Amino acid sequence: MLHSSIHQLIGFSAPVCRRHLSSVTAHIHGSQVSSLADSLIEVDKADRVIGPVPKLDSHLAGAIQSGIIHRAFSVFLFSRDTSSLLIQKRSPHKIVFPREWANTCCSHPLYTESEMENADGNQIGIKRAATKRLNDELGIQNFPVSNLSFKEKILYSQLSPGGTFGESECDYILVGSIDRASHRVVPHSDEVEEIAWIEPGPAGDRTRSLRAYLGEQKARGFPPTPWFDLMVREKECLELWWSKLIENPDAFLAAEDVNEGIIRNFLRE
């Protein structure tokens, strides 16, 4: 059953909304349809849980424009040997930002006890969801949750090209290191079209090589997603995380954000 509050926000009665959504989902690739009924975690701007919300409903433009927010996570994986960042070009089948470049992995925890668990502030539920998604998208098997470090939460929203879908999220930032010899990256084509390992730039400008690569890709018609572009442009985001990882990887990955009250706000008001 579709989320009734979304029907009201979008302005359709339930039967009309179902017909409208049927016409929308008819154009979605089969590989993406099965997850559209997944129950995501709807939250307010303080990341307080409101309840479950179907994935499809939460990504519709009407819900986003009405301020519906769901939890998400963004993983930034760096190679243990060279501190290179693993990035991906999203599959052409994705309902938001197809064929655009993004960080290692972005997705959502589900409204389940396992993926909402946060014993002692360790965000174990989010990390479980992230390691599952690393396998689903990139074929990275058995990646330990202990290899992921929770850094902060960021509020963000953006409509996807076409205006039907978009994102409105409280995004948990997870940073980790990966031994490329132990964990092979084998992208699943329904989720990921291409991957690249980007070496860090010099001290004080760690994202230099990444910006150059993304500029070349944009000229070919494959830009970064708005989210990834924001993470690259903001000096207190990827530039800072990458720098700290290189300066002292063990200390940086061991230190996790325990201040639940601070959430960076990049919402489009």
Active site residues: 106, 169
What residue type is 1 in one-letter code?
A: M
The CA distance from 125 to 75, in Å, is 14
Q: If you ran DSSP here, which 8-state letter would residue 165 be given?
A: B
Residue with tokens 């052409």: 92
Residues 6+ apart with CB under 8 A from 138: 86, 88, 104, 105, 185, 186, 187, 188, 191, 192, 195
Helix segments in the chain, DSSP class H = 4-10, 14-25, 30-33, 55-58, 61-65, 113-116, 124-138, 208-219, 226-233, 240-247, 249-254
